[in-house]
Amino acid sequence: MRITGLILFMFFLTTVIIAQDITVRAEAPSVVSVGEQFRVTWTVNSRGGEFIPPEFIDFYKLMGPQTSYSQSTQIINGKRTSSVENSFTYYLQATREGKYEIGPAKYKEKKNKYLSESLNIEVIESGSRGEAQPDGQEADVKQSEESTANSSDLYIRLLVNRKKVFLGEHIVATLKIYSRVNLSGIQEVRFPDFNSFLKEDLETPQLRTLERENVGGQIYNTGVLQRFLVYPQKTGLLEIDPATLTVLIQQRVKSNDPFFGDFFSSVSSVPKIITTSPVEIEVKPLPAGKPESFNGTVGNISVISKIDKDTIDVNDALTYKITINGEGNLKLALAPALFLSPDIEVYDPKIISNLTTSASGTTGSRLFEYLLIPRHHGLYTIPSFEYSFFDPDLGKYITRKIPGHKFYVRKSENESQKSQVYGGVTRGDVTYLGKDIRYINKGKRTLGKSREMLISKSSFFIFYLSSFLIFILIVVWRREHVKRNSDLIRVRNRKAGKIAAKRLKQASVYLKKQLKEEFHSELIKALWGYLSDKLGIPLSDLTRESVLKELSRLKVSDTTQKQFSDIIDMCESSRYSPEEGDSSLTNTYKLAEKVIKEIENQI
């Protein structure tokens, strides 16, 4: 049965693997130098088919194919997933400069044929590789650092897609590292502050490996650390502060042995700080002639509006939506001004942003949802309005005209005539409801000047002097209180009796419950803790001899000292006399209470 089950499982696993989609993935460096040896790898997520490589016309084939195969199976929450990787690696050598293309590889399985993508490889001069190592005959760590980590071999740059923009136009800034030395990691990154810019972080994949790139005829290992989307907030020549990066450089440290120095050499990681150069951005002001409906939106947008219903009852709610779609600084887009009838109550709009930030800028929509409540029946009109924005591509203002809307408000059956106030009525026509309406009193009123000033009264001086004396007393009391509490030894000395009383109370609780071990433990804590606080002796230095010596110095009676020793002996001997009676425990508790009171009175 086990063998049959295993066979069925393997058959099912093979069926799952075969049923998955087959892909052929190709990997190769994008830039190499003349004479450099490199490898090209094709990976297929299947096994059992035939792999047909392309022809290597422009490169010299050194070796291949080298094949490798791996298979993994995972079962997560009862769901089984399997993956297969079957790779074919060829080693090639570049022979001449130029840009070449390696055609797609083929993979045949049964009657199906699968193709990979073509590979584009650039070949540059061999002298531009810059990978020669320093001689190192007399190089130590310092010399190695100077020769392998100079400014041309390792640097970072803050790249911007444009250096001249209009106010509010977006800029994509990319922080990128360029290296021709071996790096073991990145220790710390400090990004620019982007003063005078509104900054948003663009989603950037985590930098795990560096890719080869041709930079001015030199091959560098490059990688993007972070990308930003920034909007200038003022005009003029703005400067982006430098970014700082701390990297760990791998350096070979040779041994002092003149014969086996190379053999016993080691590799260490040396930190190095590199910074970008400041980047200047010229921000041009928006041209003159701004339309009245322009509120600072820069980009390319469209505006639509709609109402959710065209007929409602009095005091019912109507939703009026204005949606701004497009790209630009939409986060700063404001709601247009509405000019409605005074019989319509308007609430502040609810703003819903559905925006996506990418290298092309901020795109999406921004919705302004108004709640309108008409208070009287009739036909109402939401007037049309204009919304203007500046298009940086066209370099001019564009105005969108949004049409108005009409809706009818039916007269409600519960609408009261008393609640309607019409123009031109007299005060007698208004219904007086409680005391919510009060008219201006037009009668004559006389105002008199007070003959007696507050400062001339004796009660004022008495109150003022009393307040001043109370303030002085509070200040003196507060200073004395702080002074008393600053001496921790004296504070513990004063509070020693209270703390001991709390512990004795807890010991009496254990005594009533006949918990003998807990009783003796709490009693010892109460006594030793009291003596430590009262005598100023740390618990680490607290012994019977040190306590008796300090009590003798403070002239505590010999009887009290003997009683203290007796209590210590009683508590320690209790471990070996489990049959101790209740009366003995009570006597021990009373004796401890008496000793603490005696010491408190005598010191």
Q: For residue range 286-311, what is the model confidence (pLDDT) as tens digits?
A: 999 899 889 889 999 999 999 999 99
Of the listed ranges 32-41, 85-94, 464-473, 518-527, the one predicted with least confidence = 518-527
Of the listed ranges 11-25, 165-179, 324-338, the one predicted with least confidence = 11-25
* pLDDT value, residue 72: 81
* pLDDT value, residue 408: 93
How far are the Cα atoms of 271, 358, 543 from residue 268, in angstroms, in the given order?
A: 10, 40, 54
Top-confidence residue, 133 or 74: 74
Asked if residue 490 has pLDDT above 70, the reply is: no
Asked if residue 545 has pLDDT above 90, the reply is: no
* pLDDT value, residue 544: 78
Top-confidence residue, 581 or 83: 83
Asked if residue 468 has pLDDT above 90, the reply is: no
Of the listed ranges 116-120, 373-377, 537-541, the one predicted with least confidence = 537-541
Top-confidence residue, 325 or 445: 325
pTM of the model: 0.54
Over residues 550-577, mean pLDDT: 76
Top-confidence residue, 421 or 360: 360
Top-confidence residue, 262 or 242: 242
Neighbours of 471 (CB within 10 A): 10
Split at pLDDT 50, 70, 90, the class of 254 is: low
- Report the 3 state secondary structure along 91-155: EEEECCCEEEEECCCEEEECCEEEECCCEEEEEECHHHCCCCCCCCCCCCHHHHHHHHCCCCCEE
Asked if residue 534 has pLDDT above 70, the reply is: yes
Asked if residue 177 has pLDDT above 60, the reply is: yes
pLDDT digit string (tens) for 200-249?
999 998 888 888 888 888 889 999 999 999 999 999 999 999 999 999 88
Percent of the chain with pLDDT over 90: 26
* pLDDT value, residue 47: 80
**Residues 550 and 537: beta-carbon distance below 8 Å:** yes
Of the listed ranges 142-156, 261-275, 480-494, 583-597, the one predicted with least confidence = 142-156
- Quote the strand ranges of 170-291, DSSP E: 171-179, 183-190, 197-202, 211-215, 218-232, 236-240, 244-253, 266-275, 279-284
* pLDDT value, residue 560: 80
* pLDDT value, residue 574: 66
Q: Are strands 98-102 and 244-253 parallel, antiparallel or unpaired?
A: unpaired
Over residues 514-518, mean pLDDT: 79
Asked if residue 120 has pLDDT above 70, the reply is: yes
Domain 492-602 has CATH 1.20.120: yes
Q: What angle do CA 45, 46, 51 make, to 5 degrees?
A: 100
Length of the chain: 603
Tell me how far apart the alpha carbons of residues 69 and 213 are, in angstroms, rounded to a whole number.
30
Tell me how far apart the alpha carbons of residues 452 and 449 are, in angstroms, rounded to a whole number.
9
Top-confidence residue, 297 or 434: 297
Over residues 337-358, mean pLDDT: 89
* pLDDT value, residue 135: 34
Split at pLDDT 50, 70, 90, the class of 17 is: very low
Over residues 315-342, mean pLDDT: 89
Over residues 266-289, mean pLDDT: 89
Over residues 369-374, mean pLDDT: 92
How many helices (H) and strands (E) are present in the chain, helices listed first?
8, 31
Of the listed ranges 80-84, 407-411, 427-431, the one predicted with least confidence = 427-431
* Phi then psi dihedrals of residue 439, to 5 deg: -90, 160
CATH architecture, domain 293-410 = Sandwich (2.60)
* pLDDT value, residue 583: 66
Across the chain, mean pLDDT equals: 80
CATH architecture, domain 17-128 = Sandwich (2.60)
Of the listed ranges 291-300, 325-334, 594-603, the one predicted with least confidence = 594-603
Asked if residue 142 has pLDDT above 50, the reply is: no
Q: What is the CA radius of gyration of the chain?
A: 44
Written as one letter, the residue type at 553 is R
Over residues 87-93, mean pLDDT: 90
Split at pLDDT 50, 70, 90, the class of 518 is: confident
Tell me how far apart the alpha carbons of residues 526 and 488 are, in angstroms, rounded to a whole number.
19
Split at pLDDT 50, 70, 90, the class of 150 is: low
Tell me how far apart the alpha carbons of residues 15 and 5 are, in angstroms, rounded to a whole number.
15
Percent of the chain with pLDDT over 70: 79
Top-confidence residue, 488 or 253: 253
* pLDDT value, residue 77: 75
* pLDDT value, residue 546: 80
Asked if residue 281 has pLDDT above 90, the reply is: yes
